[in-house]
Structure 1
Amino acid sequence: MPKIIEMPKLSDTMTEGTLAKWTVKEGDKVTTGQTLADVETDKATMEMPCFFEGTLHKILVKAGEKAPLNAPLAIVLEEGEEVPANLDEIIANAQAAAAPAPKAEKPAAGAKKTVSAPGPRLPTAPQPNRRAAASNARVKASPLARKIADEKGVDLSTLEGTGPGGRIVRADVEAAPKGGAVRGGAPATPAIRPTYGPEDERVPTSSMRNIIAERLLASKTQIPHFYLQMEVDAGPLMEFRANLNASNEKSGGNKYTVNDFILKAVIRAAQAQPAINAAWDGDAIVKFKSVGLSVAIAIDDGLVTPVIKGAEKKTLLEISQSVKDLAGKAKNKKLSPDDFAGGTITVSNLGAYGIDQFSAIINPPQAAIIAIGSIRNAPVVNDKGQIVVGQRMWVGLSGDHRVVDGAVAATFLAEMRKFIESPALMLV
C-alpha cells in the first residue's frame, strides 16, 4: 500500500506550510527520520522528516508551493511494491480529506435548523451569511481572519485588507460590522499601498513574514502599549564579565556574552516582581508560576523567539548554553514547535547593532518585552562630583497596560538595574 507523506504540524499555530525545497528527488531511497524537505511555517523554516522507508515515487507539491495541514506532499512505495492502478484516486481522496477547515465548516454555518451544527459557536445563520461564506472563499485573507469572519457572519469581500499585499487579517474582521461593510461604501480600514515603477522590485512575502506582520499589527492595534526607559551603569557588569571570561579561558570554561548576563538579570527581576510575568486573558489575568524566557534571534526571514523554559531554575552557565543552542538551531532551521512554546516574557537586544535605545513591540499574548541597547562610553559624574568616563546602557520596557501598571514596570526595571550594577548578586 503506498505511503503518503503529509504536511506536518510544525508549529502550534500553523495552518499551512510552504514547501521551501525538497532535499530528495523522485526515485530516491528514503529512510525513517531522514530529512525530506525544508518547510516554511508561520514561525520558521524547519526540516520535515520522513516517517517511512522505501522509494520516493512521486512529489505532489513542488518547491515554492503552499499546502494546508495534512495535505499529501509525496508518495512513498515500499521496496518492490508495484504502483497501484488506483493511485490517482488515492491521491485525490487524500487531497479532499485535507481541505482547509474553514471551507469544511461553511456549509454548517448556513445549514437549516434541522441539520446539527458542529458546536454551540456555529448557530443557524441567515441567508446573507451563506452568501458571505461563498464569497469568503475567493478573498485573500489569513486563516484566523476567515475563521472569525465565519463566526461573525462577515463578508470578507466587502473589506479592505491592511495586511501584506492587501491580505485581510484578524484586526480587519474584528473592526468590521456584522455582515461586513456596505458595498460601495467606505472600507472599514483603508489599505495604504506604495506606488512603484517598472524598475522597482516587488518581492512576495513568505508565510513567516506574513504572520509576523499580522501579529505585530494585532499587537499594536489591540494591546495598549506603554513605554519606560532606564539608564544603568554597565561598568561593573563589563568588569565582572571580563574577569570571569579570563578565568574560564585558562580552564577551558564557557565564554559568556553580555546578553547572557542581561537574560539572567531579566529572570531575577521577574522573580522579584512576578506581576510582570503575566498575560491578559479576556476577562482575567494569567500569572505564570515559571519564567519562559523568549529570546529574539534574527534570521534571514525575520525574527524568531524560541523559549528558555523554566528559566528561573537555570544557572548562568545553563542560560548561556541554552541561548547558544537555540541560536544554532535557528540558523540551521532545526527549531521545533516545542522550542517556541511556553514564553511568558521576551528580551530583544539590539546593542550589537549599535542601537542605543528603542521601544519594542510586545510579543502577544505576553504582557512585557524588554529592549536592550548598546553599552557605550559616556561622561558621568562620580561620587566625588568629578566628571569621568563611564559605561552606560539603556534598558527599556514595553508593557501591556491592561496587565502591568507603570509602578510595577518601574519596579521591575529597578530590579534589573540592581542586578546589572551588582552582577555578583545574579549568582547568589
Structure 2
Amino acid sequence: MATEILMPALSPTMEEGTLAKWLVKEGDTVASGDLLAEIETDKATMEFEAVDEGVIGKILVPEGTEGVKVNTAIAVLLEEGESADALPEAKSGAPAAEGPAAAEGAPAGAGEAAASPAPAASAAPAAPVAASGERIFASPLARRIAAQKGLDLSQIKGSGPHGRIVKADVEAATASAPAAAAKPAASAPPAATGTTGAPAPAAAASGPSADQVAKIYADRDYEEVPLDGMRKTIAARLTEAKQSIPHFYLRRDIRLDALLTFRSQLNKQLEGRGVKLSVNDFIIKACANALQAVPAANAVWAGDRVFKLKPSDVAVAVAIEGGLFTPVLRDADMKSLSALSAEMKDLAARARERKLAPHEYQGGSFAISNLGMFGIDNFDAVINPPHAAILAVGAGKKQPVVGDDGALTVATVMSVTLSVDHRVIDGALGAELLQAIVDNLENPMVMLA
C-alpha cells in the first residue's frame, strides 16, 4: 500500500521548515536509514532519513519550498510491486501564497494558509494525539498497522529519529494486548532552547504594521527585506523575553591584569600543542565554576516552578549572518581550559555554517554574550528563556584605579553586567553569583584547582 512521507519534526519545537534539497528522485528504492532530503529549520540544515523501505512513487513538495508545515505530506512511498501510475493526482504540500505577497516574493506564511494535500492511495490514519493533546510521531505505515491491530500508539516507545514510532516498533508490540488508555502527561516545562529555538508566532505583535510603516516612508527610497525563519523567531522570542521576564541588572568592574599575565604564560606552554586560550575561554570557565559555587543560582524558570540544575551547562552567544546561535558547553566546570577552547571553536565554526544539531544549542541555565571584541564598553543583555541569567561582557581597557593602599595606578578593567530573572534569582543571590565570577577572573589560578 502506498504511504505518505511526512515533513518531519527535527526538533521538539519545530513547526515548519524549508525542504532545501531532495537526495532521492522518483523511482528510487530506499531502505530504512537512507537519506531522503535536507531540511532547513530556523537554526540549521539537517538530513532526513527514511523510516520505512519502498520506492519513491511521487514527490509532492519540490526542493526549495519554504514554510512546509510539520506532518505535511512531501512524497509518496510505494511498496514492492506497486506502480506510481495507480496514484491519484496529489496536490503539493507546499504552502500557497496568493495576491501581491506571492508576486513580490514574500516569505512563506505571508499569504494564504497552506494548501491541504490530497490523500495518497490507502492513506494511513490521521496523526494521533495523546490524551494530553500532544502529537504522537509515527510513520504512516506504523499508524496503519497499529489501527489494524487495535494498539494504542501512546503506549509504544519509538525507536526512529527523535523517538518516532516505526513499523518495527508496532510489530514488536503484543497484538493481543488491549489498547491502554493514554495517561495524562505530567506537566512539563517549556523546552530549553537557544535564542531562536522556540516556535515563533506569525508576527511579533508590537509596533506599527507593515502597511502603516510603508505609508510613513512612502516618499522615501528604501529596500524591503523579508524576514527569514531565524529573524522571525529572534523577534518573537526576544519580545516575549522582555515582556514576560522581570529583568534586573547587576554591574561590576573586573581587573584583568592577573588573568592576562596568567593567560600569556599558559599560551607559551601550550604553543607546541596548537592551543591558544582566549579571554572568553576564561570567562566561560569562571561562570561554570561560579554556578557550582552558588548552586541555588544554577536554575531555570519552568512555567510554574523552578528547576535547579546540577551540571554547569553554559551557553555562549555566537553572531552569524542574519542572527545568532547560543551553542551550549555542557559540564563546562568539569572541562579544562584547553578542552573548553577547542569545543567552543568547533561549535562557533559549525554555528556559522548552520550545522549545529538541536541538542547543541538547546539547554543550559546561564548564557554569556561578549561584545568586548567589538569595542563595546558595557551593555545589558536580554535573558534567553528559560535561563535565569546572562552575563554581558564589555571590552577590557586600561584606566586609572585606586589600589588597596590608596595609591593611584593603571589597570586593565573589564565591565560586566549580569541580567537576572527575579522570579528565579533574588538580588542578594545574584550578587553572590556575580561575586563568584569576579573572584574567579581576578584570581585565575583558582580555576585550575
Structure 1 residues 382 and 100, CA, compared in 2 at 3 Å: closer, same or farther? farther
1:279 matches 2:307: no
Q: Tell which deviates more after alignment, 327-336 or 351-360.
A: 327-336
What does residue 413 of structure 2 align with?
Answer: 392
What does residue 68 of structure 2 align with?
Answer: 67
Could you list the per-position Cα deviations for residues 378-412 of structure 1 after superposition, in whole angstroms to 9, with x for gaps in the alignment?
22234554443321101110011122111111111
Unaligned runs of 5+ in 1: 106-117, 122-141, 147-159, 168-190
What does residue 225 of structure 1 align with?
Answer: 247
Give distance in 1, aligned partners of 2:284 and 2:419: 16
1:85-100 → structure 2 map (5 Å cutoff)? 85-88=86-89, 92-93=118-119
Say if 1:5 and 1:50, in contact at 8 Å, map to a contact too. no
What does residue 247 of structure 1 align with?
Answer: 269
Structure 1 residues 355 and 345, CA, compared in 2 at 3 Å: closer, same or farther? same
Structure richer in helix, relative to its length? 1
1:14 matches 2:57: no
Structure 1 residues 161 and 216, CA, compared in 2 at 3 Å: closer, same or farther? closer
Say if 2:200 and 2:232, in contact at 8 Å, map to a contact too. no
Alignment length, in residue pairs?
353
What does residue 204 of structure 1 align with?
Answer: 226
1:47 matches 2:43: no
Q: Which amino acid aligns with 1:68?
A: K
Structure 1 residues 283 and 74, CA, compared in 2 at 3 Å: closer, same or farther? closer
What does residue 292 of structure 1 align with?
Answer: 313
Structure 1 residues 100 and 207, CA, compared in 2 at 3 Å: closer, same or farther? farther
What does residue 109 of structure 2 align with?
Answer: none
Structure 1 residues 256 and 81, CA, compared in 2 at 3 Å: closer, same or farther? farther
What does residue 131 of structure 1 align with?
Answer: none
Could you list the per-position Cα deviations for residues 241-278 of structure 1 after superposition, in whole angstroms to 9, with x for gaps in the alignment?
111111111x2242211111100000111111122211
- Offset at 1:306? 2.0
What does residue 405 of structure 1 align with?
Answer: 426
Q: Which amino acid aligns with 1:263?
A: I
Structure 1 residues 201 and 319, CA, compared in 2 at 3 Å: closer, same or farther? same
Q: Which amino acid aligns with 1:48?
A: E
Instruction: Give the root-mean-square deviation of aligned CA atoms.
Output: 3.7
Could you list the per-position Cα deviations for residues 5-50 of structure 1 after superposition, in whole angstroms to 9, with x for gaps in the alignment?
432222221111133x326585696975547334133xx0222334
Say if 1:47 and 1:333, in contact at 8 Å, map to a contact too. no
1:238 matches 2:264: no
Say if 1:18 and 1:39, in contact at 8 Å, map to a contact too. yes
1:324-335 → structure 2 map (5 Å cutoff)? 324-335=345-356
What does residue 216 of structure 1 align with?
Answer: 238
Give distance in 2, aligned partners of 1:296 and 1:98: 40
Give distance in 2, aligned partners of 1:202 and 1:211: 19
What does residue 351 of structure 1 align with?
Answer: 372
Say if 1:164 and 1:205, in contact at 8 Å, map to a contact too. no
Say if 2:291 and 2:298, in contact at 8 Å, map to a contact too. yes
1:83-122 → structure 2 map (5 Å cutoff)? 83-88=84-89, 92-93=118-119
- Offset at 1:56? 8.8
Q: Tell which deviates more after alignment, 228-237 or 203-212.
A: 203-212
- TM-score norm. by structure 2 comes to 0.68
Give distance in 1, aligned partners of 2:332 and 2:36: 31
Q: Which amino acid aligns with 1:85?
A: A
Say if 1:68 and 1:99, in contact at 8 Å, map to a contact too. no
Could you list the per-position Cα deviations for residues 210-268 of structure 1 after superposition, in whole angstroms to 9, with x for gaps in the alignment?
1111111111111111011100001111111111111111x224221111110000011
What does residue 179 of structure 2 align with?
Answer: none
Say if 2:300 and 2:424, in contact at 8 Å, map to a contact too. yes
Q: Tell which deviates more after alignment, 78-87 or 385-394.
A: 78-87
- Identical pairs, percent: 39
Instruction: Pick the aligned partner of 2:442 from 412, 421, 425.
Output: 421
Give distance in 2, aligned partners of 1:241 and 1:283: 43
Unaligned runs of 5+ in 2: 92-116, 134-181, 186-197
Give distance in 2, aligned partners of 1:424 and 1:384: 23
